[in-house]
Structures are given as C-alpha cells and as structure tokens.
Chains A and B, each alone.
Chain A
C-alpha cells in the first residue's frame, strides 16, 4: 500500500493575463521509505506539484482536479485544521531558500519548540528543548548553539537546520525543493548525505525536487521528468539511466557534463521552454524535438507504459505513432 498516491492532479494559476496550467494530469505513487526525484527546468511545474502535496499552492493557484491520498486519506477533502495537523507531522517541506524560511528574530530553540508543541500539546518546553538538542547533534551542529539566531549560522548550516525542523516530528514524507541549489558542491554533498542518512534512520520517504538531473540520478529510486506541467517520463532511476526513451530526457542526459567521462560529447536541446500562457498544441515538447512527427503537433500525447514500470509520453512509443518511426 503506497504512502502517497497522486491521481490526475491538475493545478491552474489564474492570472490576469490568462490561465496557466502549471500541473496537468499528474499521477504517481510513492511507497514508504522510498525516494522519488522530480526533475525539470524552471517553469516545468515541479515546485507547484510539491506544494500541492501539502496544499500550499500560492495564490492565484488552484487545484482544479485530482486526488492526493496520504495513507489512504484524500487530503484535498480535509478541512484546513485537519490539514494543519498533517503538515509537519506527516508531510514536511524543505524550502529552497533557508534565508527566508527561518524567522530572523527567533532563536533556533524558539523555531523548534513552537513546531513540536503545536503538534504535540502535552510535550513540555524542556522536553522539546532536549529533543532539539538531539536533532542538532544529528545534524552535526553543536547543541550549545540552540540559542543562536539564524543569522549566526552559515548558509549550509541554515539549510541543515531547515532539514532538522522538517524531521523533528518524524514525518512519513519529506519534500525537499531544491535543497542545495544555493550551496557549494562540498556543502551540497554533505547536506544530501545527511538527508540520506536521516531518511534511513527514521524510515522516511523523500521527494527530491531539482533541476539537476545528476543529483537525482545519484540519490533517487524513482524519477519523474516533468516538462511544461506534464510528466514526460517516469521510471526507476536505474531504468531511466540505462534506457532513457523520451527525446527530452535523452537531451537532458546528453547536456549534463559528467566528470567521470573523458572527452565527453555534449549536445544541447534546441529552442527554449514554452510560454505557459500559450503552450504549443499537441505534445508540449514538439517545437524542440528532433524526432517530431506530424501527429505530435496536433494530438495530445498519452502516457504509455512500455514495460518495467517505465512510462513515456511520446508518440514514438504509441501505436498511433509507431508506423512513422
């Protein structure tokens, strides 16, 4: 029984200039203790998808269709007070920017005791304090620093504190939205190692959102490749690495430099991501695709199962398109 089930989720941003369909008909599931990577460029809808799972899509975003089930409960039908008890306790979110997600006038201890005592009313202040110290130790931060303010920590430490706050209530699912984008490689590796270790200790599931396919391939069990609000490819990371099918995924894989390869030939994907106010008809990717066929420009492409739990949204793997290949 999966921990998280997302079923045909569709999210719109209703702006004054028109409706942007940021997430379109996305379905996937995640088992307990597993990791899922959401890869895509800016504007692909990966963050909106992540925020939908904790029902925090910012205005003017609206979830127009679909179900999100956590442990069999459809969270889209819950009243807001019940939802608040799920955020933090069952599902935690690590935001991209640790500078703006911590309150600059509150000590670290205030952040964590507030979090713990909001969800667990009968925990005393002292207990919450002690628990925070243990967490800090897990994060590799001296427990004495519990009474420091956010500005007294470096960027990497602040991101670790964010992770600590996310796991403080031992949630079943952690969503990390570009947790290391603002950080240097050495700190990035440290943070991702930390996240992986904590995940193993506490048995949490993790959704890692990143534009960096190398991180996702290195760290995740399953991968979703998103483009213009849609899932283009969905497979286990081993399968996706061995056998990428969608021209976009292949393009992405060919455009990331790999330090372990000598004399690597890199190729770029031509064109740029579409304007979401006016996306191309048919397959969203066809204007940039090197294998474009007539059918791609007109017909909506279905997500096809090509075996080994590998899904691709491309007419080259669909019976209507195969005759041209």
Chain B
C-alpha cells in the first residue's frame, strides 16, 4: 500500500477506507422486575470492547473468532446498523460515528452488508427483481423499466444466468446458493465501495462455497470493492484474506498479514485455533494445543488478560494486568504479556 501518500485527514491514511478506533459496544443485560427494583448496578455484555483496526482500500480484511467473540457486532457497528457505545468509526477520512438522517442515508450507498442466512435476509414476498432493485428505489435512483434493466445487469454479474429467468422468481423457488447470490446482487447494485460480508458462505453447501467466494473476490478488481469479511473458519480466512484479526471475547488479540499470522502465530489462542483446524490429510498427525475450560461469559470477563484462565502459558502478571495490543513485527500486532515482554 505504499503507492498512496500518507497525507492525512483527521489522522487517517488515505489508503485506509475504514478506520475504527477504540470501538466498543455494551449491551445492557435484561433484569427481572425485582432486580430492577433492588439492584442499582447495571450489568453489561461487553460484546465489543475497545478494538482498533483499519481496512485499506481494495483489501480483504477478515475478522476471525469463535461464536460470541463479537465479530458480527463489529461488522454491524462499522456499517452503522448498531450504535457504538464508545469509540469512533471513520469512512474515507470522515467521522461517521454520529451521522444521522440524510447524511447517513447517503453513506449507506457506499457501504453495504451481506448477512449469513439467505433464508432470513430476503423477504419471502418480494420477487428477485424487487428485492435486488429495492435499494435503487430507497435511494431514488431508478424505478420501473430502468430499475429492471439495472437488476438484469447485476444478476448477470453474480452469474444468475440467464437473468430474465430469475427476475420474477420468489426466494422459495431458489436454492441456498442462488439466494446468497441474490443477496450479493442486492449489495452491489448501488455500486458501493465497501462491503461487510458476515459469514456469507457458512450456510451453503461445500461444493458451492468456493464459487461464491471466487465471485466476491473477482468483484474486488472489477468493481473496486473493499471487504470486511467475518468468518469462524480459519481455512476460509486464509484463502481469501490479505490481513486477518483474531478476536476473543470482544477484543482483537492478534492481527497481521495472513502470511505472518499463519507462519508465525504468536498469541497462545491463535496457536490453539490453528492447531484445532482439521487438515484434509489422513497421514498428517498434528500436535494439538489443549485449552482448558470454555469461553467465559461476556458478562463476567476475567480480570487481566481475558484469555488467562484457559492459557497454557499463563504467568502471575496475566491475571492482573490487561495486555495492550502492540506491534511486535512489522504490521503484526499481538496482545499478550509473554510476547510483549520479549520472552516466549
């Protein structure tokens, strides 16, 4: 990314399309009536807790983590589907954290999201032409014949061919893979610059996943798209990403280019994740890093390093002080006392 100058607007490098700083989202925990009367202290689920990252233009940046680590919440915060509790989000150098009304609506043309479940994200009562063309109407860009023409074009792009055969179908007449293509078509019809893809292939048959992923990858060049990809599958993350951030209990614990992350995983959690991925080779017997226990609840986050109760290498320090995420190698960030203090 050295081809772009480092001129800054609000401290953001121009090559960075999205910049997120100290982002946090706390959901209040619903209490019973009695508790509301007698317990003053509110408790929160810290779904996302002080995370900082940036996505460079035309990059594929992936958030990886187990269920409940806050990766989906992060994706929704970035496109402003959720209000952040703390922190700020910049898009193309402009702070969008507090945008409202018309300005927010204009921003939505530039950033779109694809959801995990194509059975839930498409209205069962809308034909493909209406579902895909809906954004055009919402933004007052086209309707009627013109809308239809644009829908046909975009269906061709997502390889639902011949498009005129699909245009009048309802979602229940489509397979899961086709539905996800419709969702993809809907997300690119406004020619956005940035797309959040939240587990877009996890509900699709294995044999069809790669076609959809390759299609999304091709749009990066063709349409100049940048993706924030969200997945729990490290193998998929490795296939598509430029850079990867690993999340654990609402925090990014390791982040870097995929080459350095996979060849030199530093955080014990990343190492454990990597060692747990099944490798399609019957002769390969690998050493697994065992973790004790399970992911704690996000209401009662452990003190110090939030991974310490499960960490096989923990020291006294880990339960007392929260490690800061620091750049250990070039563009490789880790939040771990063992790494940050220099001895592994």
Contact = CB atoms under 8 A, between A and B. Distances in A.
Nearest to A238: B282
Dominant secondary structure of chain B at its interface with chain A: helix
A212 B206 contact: yes
10 contacts: A186-B66, A213-B206, A214-B279, A217-B280, A237-B282, A251-B207, A255-B209, A259-B238, A266-B214, A268-B207
Interface string A181-194: 00011111110110
Sorting the interface of chain B by its residue count into under 10, 10 to 19, 20 to 34 or 35 or more gives: 35 or more
B344 interface: no
B145 interface: no
Given A251-B207, A253-B280, A258 B232 contact: no
Contacts of B211: 268, 270
Interface stretch (B83-91, B119-127, B268-276): B268-276
A35 to B, nearest CB: 11
Contacts of B209: 255, 268
B214 A241 contact: no
A157 B294 CA distance: 9
A266 B205 contact: no
Contacts of A42: 205
Interface string B245-256: 000000000000
Nearest to A156: B294
Interface stretch (B15-23, B103-111, B283-291, B312-320): B283-291
A41 interface: yes
A219 B290 CA distance: 18
B284 A218 contact: yes
A270 B208 CA distance: 7
Contact of B276 (A189, A262, A270): A189
Contacts of B259: 262
A241 B281 contact: yes
Nearest to B175: A272
Contacts of B239: 257, 264, 266
A186 B214 contact: no
Closest 5 CB pairs of A and B: A189-B276, A268-B210, A257-B235, A184-B66, A268-B211
Nearest to A236: B282
B237 to A, nearest CB: 9
A114 to B, nearest CB: 27
Interface string B311-333: 00000000000000000000000
Contacts, number: 121
Interface size class of A (residues with CB under 8 A): 35 or more
B150 interface: no
Nearest to B291: A186
B259 to A, nearest CB: 8
Contact of A212 (B232, B278, B282): B278
Interface of B: 66-67, 175, 177-178, 205-211, 213-214, 232-236, 238-239, 259, 262, 272-284, 288, 290-291, 294
A169 interface: no
B281 A186 contact: no
B68 to A, nearest CB: 9
A74 B263 CA distance: 53
A139 interface: no
Interface string A33-73: 00000000110000000000000000000000000000000
A211 interface: yes
A257 B281 contact: no
A273 B205 contact: yes
Considering residues B178, B272, B283, which has the most beta carbons from chain A within 10 angstroms of its beta carbon? B283
Contacts of A251: 207
Given A218-B284, A257-B233, A258-B235, 10 more contacts: A186-B291, A190-B290, A212-B206, A214-B279, A253-B280, A256-B206, A257-B235, A258-B280, A266-B213, A269-B207
A260 interface: yes
A41 B282 contact: no
A252 B206 contact: yes
Nearest to B259: A262
A203 B273 CA distance: 30
A192 B276 CA distance: 10
B276 A259 contact: no
Contacts of A214: 235, 277-280
Interface string A241-285: 100000000011101111110101011111011000000000000
A156 B209 CA distance: 26
A252 B294 contact: no
B161 to A, nearest CB: 12
Interface in A15-43: 41-42
